[in-house]
Amino acid sequence: MDRIRLIGGNALNGEIAISGAKNAALPLMIASLLTDEPLVLQNVPRLADVKQLERILENHGVDIAVHGRRRGEDEMVGQRMTFHAADIVDTTAPYELVSKMRASFWVIGPLLARCHEARVSLPGGCAIGTRPVDLFLFGLKALGAEIDIDEGYVVARAPSGGLIGATIIFPKVSVGATHTILMAATLAKGTTIIENAACEPEITNVAECLVAMGARISGIGTRTLTIEGVERLHGATVDVIPDRIETGTFAMATAMTGGNVLLKGARPEHLQAALDILARTGVDLTVESGGLRVQRSDQPILPVDVETEPFPGFPTDLQAQFMALMTMSTGTSHIRETIFENRYMHVAELVRFGADISVDGQLATIRGKAQLKGAQVMATDLRASVSLVIAGLAAKGETIVNRIYHLDRGFEGLEDKLSRCGAEIERVAG
């Protein structure tokens, strides 16, 4: 199994091209199931999760083509891909595919809308409980779907004639459920209103893609989405937005190492809450025509308290990275995780660097230290993985990060991007 080896202590300096957003690319790929015409996506990141979703879509009958770079394009430009679901040959998404990636469950919406039936494995074999799919099923039932759970599969059927528009009020914000119901409602008969919808930039990217495909959607970017159902959607060409989580990750890595990096293509408006917090730590942030410049020279890292919230608040997907930064602050900081109940698994690994962190329920207390020491650590999930890389960049001596397949799911060319900016980092084949 591959590992990452780091020698800490080098400041990051240079430019990093921000890749397309994984959390937008995946639902955009799934949206191809809604039409029998080609959907062309540009700036698709090269990630393990993208490859896995390709396998799932091909199982449903989607033809997928990957196009080469155009003349003059930078090698870090994302892929241009065409998804053509002329015929849906199978409405079952089997366990062996869905279990590897939670977002693959979202195919249930387009399959049900277009084919009026779907049989999709519960993601990861989970019960309806922790990180549940109950909001997905709640929304689909409101659209008239009949839902059964059969041997670990959700079996969904639309009434004769297809789904029917309805008003759906989510009891809590859910990105996945919003994506799924939004896609399903585009082909439903009548009007669907989604209240308390997620309004992340990735939702907006997907909604604008659906509009380009002929959907009628208003309220994009707000908590209330109104969808007027249409009989069919057509093809379109759509760009995947830059990854705001990757932007925040590299910004925090730059701050941690005391460097100066231009994050090319970054859209600061997509993570303003995180940037506001980062600025309070003493980091200089400057919006330039090419992206966002992040700089910290001799000034110390100041401690700042933060609480994760749905967009436009501080994202839970940057919580682990920010915790890594706070381990070298000049005082005590606190992080309150309000989105997921089990998202502090990286704490024990950060402590291996010598970090002083304690956890009480949702609240983590971080007492900053002047220096971390390199260590052998193990990645536990996608965002935790990169927090360990950030810590290793600033730690004294050698760090080995094990189980880095998590990183390959969500960060394109991580070692290459960091090494170009002066990091001593390499992948070691296992």
Q: What is the pLDDT of residues 150-189, one digit of tens each?
A: 988 999 999 888 999 999 999 999 999 999 999 999 999 9
* 331 and 380 share one domain: yes
Q: Give the pLDDT of residue 127.
A: 34
Q: How far apart are the first and last CA of the chain?
A: 4
DSSP state of 143: T
Would you say residue 5 has pLDDT above 60? yes
For residues 344 and 275, membership in a common domain is answered with yes
Mean per-residue pLDDT of the chain = 94
- Bond prior to 312 in cis (omega within 30° of 0): yes
Dihedral of alpha carbons 383, 221, 196, 165, sign = negative
Q: How many angstroms separate the CA atoms of 46 and 272, rounded?
A: 26
User: Is-contact 183 30, C-beta < 8 A?
Assistant: yes
**DSSP secondary structure, 394-408, as one string:** HSBSEEEEE-THHHH
Q: Are residues 284 and 232 in the same domain?
A: no
My answer on whether 417 and 296 are in the same domain is yes
Angle between helices 48-60 and 22-31 (to 10 degrees): 10
Q: Same domain, yes or no, for 191 and 272?
A: no
Spatial distance between the Cα atoms of 114 and 162, rounded to a whole number of angstroms: 8
Query: Is there a single domain that holds both residue 43 and residue 67?
Result: yes
Contact between 126 and 116 (Cβ < 8 Å): no
Choose one of 218, 239, 260: the last residue of a domain.
239
Q: How far apart are CA 238 and CA 26, in angstroms?
A: 13
For residue 131, is pLDDT > 90?
no
Does one domain contain both 422 and 380?
yes
Q: Are residues 344 and 391 in the same domain?
A: yes
- Give the total residue count for the chain: 430
Containing domain of residue 257, as a range?
A: 3-19+242-428
> What was the pLDDT predicted at 75?
61
Q: How confident is the model at residue 123 (pLDDT cuts 50, 70, 90)?
A: confident
Alpha carbon distance 303, 365 (integer Å): 11
> Closest Cα to residue 329, out of 359, 371, 268?
371
What is the distance between the alpha carbons of residues 297 and 282, in angstroms, rounded to a whole number? 10
CA dist list (Å): 235 to 60, 61, 213, 286, 411: 18, 16, 6, 38, 28
Taking a C-beta distance cutoff of 8 angstroms, is the pair 187, 162 a contact? yes
Report strand pairing: 39-44 vs 79-84.
antiparallel
Q: Name the residues annotated as catalytic.
A: 126
Is there a contact between 119 and 91 (Cβ–Cβ < 8 Å)? yes
| Residues in contact with 28: Cβ distance below 8 Å, sequence separation at least 6, in sequence order | 39, 41, 205, 206, 209, 238, 240
Q: What is the pLDDT, as a whole number, of residue 71?
A: 59
Instruction: Verify that 103 and 165 share a domain, yes or no.
Output: yes
> Beta-carbon neighbour count of residue 239 at 10 Å?
18
Cβ atoms of 273 and 234 closer than 8 Å: no
Comparing 83 with 73, the larger pLDDT belongs to 83
CA dist 405 and 64 (Å) reads 24
- Structural domain total, the chain: 2
In this structure, the answer to whether residues 96 and 12 fall within a common structural domain is no
Q: Is the pLDDT of residue 125 over 50?
A: no
User: Which CATH number covers residue 367?
Assistant: 3.65.10.10
Question: Mind listing the pLDDT tens digit for each residue in 214-259?
Answer: 999 999 999 999 999 999 999 999 999 999 999 999 999 999 999 9
The pLDDT tens digits for 311-365 are: 999 999 999 999 999 999 999 999 999 987 777 889 999 999 999 999 999 999 9
Per-residue pLDDT, averaged over 354-383, amounts to 94
How confident is the model at residue 102, as a pLDDT? 85
Residues 234, 37 contacting (CB under 8 angstroms): yes
The residue with greater pLDDT, 160 or 15, is 15
Confirm if 31 and 217 have CB atoms less than 8 A apart: no
pLDDT classification of 31: cutoffs 50, 70, 90: very high
Residue 382, pLDDT score = 77
- pLDDT tens digits for range 251-298: 999 999 999 999 999 999 999 999 999 999 999 999 999 999 999 988
| pTM of this prediction exceeds 0.85 | yes
Tokens, residue 73: 């394009």
| pLDDT of the residue at 298 | 85
| CB contact at 8 A, 306 and 337 | no
Residue 313 has φ and ψ, to the nearest 5°, of: -80, -175
* CA separation for the pair 219, 207 (Å, rounded): 10
